[in-house]
Chain A
Amino acid sequence: MKRLSRCRSTASLRPLSTGGESGLKDVTSSEASVEAAKPLPEPAAPDMPLLRIESVAKSFGNFRAVDQLSLDIRAGEFFALLGPSGCGKTTLLRMLAGFETPDEGRILLGGKDIAPVLPHERPVNMMFQNYALFPHLSVRDNIAFGLKRAGMARADIAARVAEMVALVKLEGMEKRKPDQLSGGQRQRVALARSLARRPQVLLLDEPLAALDKKLRESTQGELMELQRRLGTTFIIVTHDQEEAMTMADRIGVMDAGRLAQVATPRNLYEAPASRWIAEFVGDINLFNGQVMSRDHSRLTVSTSEAGSLTVSELWPPVTKDVVCVAIRPEKVKLSRRAPASDEGGSHGINRLEGVVADVNYLGGVTTYKVRLESGAMVRSSMANTARLDVDAYLAGQRVVAWFTADDCMVLEQ
């Protein structure tokens, strides 16, 4: 009887779906006999995403932290929730972990509502922002903590801990206490601890926020590699858009408790759904204007700040007349004279004449601010592809800032 109950409690620990490394495979196969006897988690319906969030809402007093939010997350996906602080992204994550209960809506994991499931019974683990390592336990005991609670056999625990320690490259640190580790090492212990139970979904709350820039960049790469190798679904919460762009397959941008857009990093940057997202993700030049004419999906927009601009219209078509033309700084090129051939305007090149007002050399790129005759500023960023400053412009110099119609985005107000 005891043996049986032990098997059942380990059932929630999903086997690794892909054993990318021989070391991992060995451990998986040694557990195979135990795994086979256990009831498998209910298979999801074919079209069902692993995690479905259905019009979930959560309020704290009068503050609506999460507002009628719906989202599907596929199995094996690396999903980032991006947003300014206070947008509700951490609240959403905590609802997935079970630390908060939604006021409205449902959260389905593998097709089953997990609202009544308590945190300690969910096949979901969380890596906390401050790591929340148990200070009175060694690295080994921290990692083994969740395994012991699941009632795993002692030998299996030892094997799994060794595997996790190797996975996060902490060999030789097993006996140390958290306060004897560096920030980066603590982060790894927290990661190993949250992965040890092989959750279906790993939630990461600002996992890299406490690391310095260099370490953060290398850790980003390691996290991505780990995710690919384990095939675990990762949901990461971050306010750092570069981090989200680098790591995630898809990004959900949150604002005031709602999802403003869910898209791949590229689409988020090149085709933002709204003006707010365009401004939130990366730098952008914006010109308010009115659609004057339409010709073969090419719009002519009259703006007060930059005159008449030609822009390409993408799907879905613009329905309103009052629009906003947006162009990313790196797509604005500078030259001393207007580009010579425009082939009869077929590329739809927009030219804006102005004076360089500000030059910022940033190493890889140089950013310029060009003051137009209207007084408006256009930002341009150009890669420093040559070591000697052949292409550099000086403040006060007259230049032409130009960009193609295809590089412009039309956003409705």
Chain B
Amino acid sequence: MAHTVTRITRFNMTSLALGFAFLYLPIVILVIYSFNASRLVTVWGGWSLRWYHEFFNDRAMLEAAWMSVSVGAVSATLATLLGTLAALGLARGERFRGRALFSGMLYSPLVMPEVISGLSLLLLFVALNAERGFWTVTIAHTTLTMCFVTVIVQSRLTSLDRSLEEAAMDLGCDPVRAFLLVTLPLIVPAIVAGWMLAVTLSLDDVVIASFTTGPGSATLPIRIYSEVRLGVKPEINAICTLVIALIAVIIVAASFASKLSSSRGESAAPL
């Protein structure tokens, strides 16, 4: 069986190459053209870092980038805090009433179309007469990303041997110290992975941000989107390349963190 699966045929290789090309060729072209010296996006004019230079002198763009990064960091931190608490409630409180309802409501943003979340948040902020800007986007992103953190942390908690906490209490820890000294160190990698995923999701988002942001506080994706409508500048390619690099670093770090989390901390139970 394994032999037939691993056999490399011409057909397999071709379809694999075509698949990867379909997925990654546009990105590769974007990255290459970000080093283009020409003013025209589609004409190659030799290697240059001109557009990166341009970006770092573009105040509006830098402000948008800073907005995105700070919204990402703040909303991810809030989402991680709330998501971890929710995960603890779901994983440890088997007996509380309405647990199924709570978990269903918690996970609904995973499947809810972003347009609907965005629109309903906009209506809420308008009704509350809240000034739209940094905090409205941050709150919106917190609601969007919290459930992802919960999924990651909860799966880690449920795989964690419950008797570890009992052992800690048996050895003289009150419940709070048992959590801080045993449970928390074991779920930290999952929490870190959740935070990184939340940052990435927040950096990506256009739809919800465009509903909830106000004038003068555009996030980077919104800024890019509005620039592109006026025509693509090679500067956009440079920005996108930087964003891709940032997200790649975060994703790789997150996957390392979750790998670390699953390799250590498995219960000592023999199988």
Question: Could you list which residues of chain A lie within 8 angstroms of chain B, going by C-beta atoms?
Answer: 97-99, 118-121, 125-126, 128-136, 145-146, 149-150, 177-179, 183, 186, 193-194, 197, 210
Report which residue of A130, A135, A186 has the largest number of chain B beta carbons within 10 angstroms of its beta carbon: A135
Residue among A119, A131, A183, A186 making CB contact with B170, cutoff 8 Å: A119
Tell me the smallest distance from the CB of B167 to a CB of chain A, in Å: 4
The interface residues of chain A lying within 8 Å CB-to-CB of B163 are 128-130, 132
| Extra A-B contacts (7), CB below 8 Å, given A120-B171, A132-B268 | A119-B169, A120-B178, A130-B269, A132-B167, A136-B186, A149-B173, A210-B270
Q: List 25 A-B contacts (CB under 8 A).
A: A97-B166, A118-B169, A120-B172, A120-B173, A120-B174, A120-B178, A126-B170, A128-B166, A128-B167, A130-B161, A130-B163, A130-B270, A132-B161, A132-B268, A134-B167, A134-B168, A135-B268, A136-B265, A145-B181, A149-B172, A149-B177, A150-B172, A178-B268, A179-B268, A194-B170
**With A and B bound together, what is the CA distance between A178 and B185 in angstroms?**
15
**B interface residues, tally (CB under 8 Å):** 25
The interface residues of chain B lying within 8 Å CB-to-CB of A118 are 169, 174
A134 touches B182 (CB 8 A): yes
The answer to the question of B267 belonging to the interface, with a C-beta cut-off of 8 Å to chain A, is yes
**With A and B bound together, what is the CA distance between A186 and B269 in angstroms?**
10
- Asked whether A193 and B270 contact (CB < 8 A) given A130-B163, A135-B264, A149-B177, the answer is no
**With A and B bound together, what is the CA distance between A134 and B178 in angstroms?**
11
**Total contacts A-B at CB 8 Å:** 87
Tell me the smallest distance from the CB of B191 to a CB of chain A, in Å: 14
**With A and B bound together, what is the CA distance between A7 and B76 in angstroms?**
45
- Asked whether A135 and B171 contact (CB < 8 A) given A130-B161, A149-B177, the answer is no
CB-CB nearest in chain A for B267:
A130
B268 touches A186 (CB 8 A): yes
A119 touches B186 (CB 8 A): no
**With A and B bound together, what is the CA distance between A118 and B166 in angstroms?**
12
B171 touches A133 (CB 8 A): no
Report which residue of B172, B185, B186, B269 has the largest number of chain A beta carbons within 10 angstroms of its beta carbon: B172
The interface residues of chain B lying within 8 Å CB-to-CB of A120 are 169-174, 178
A197 touches B268 (CB 8 A): no
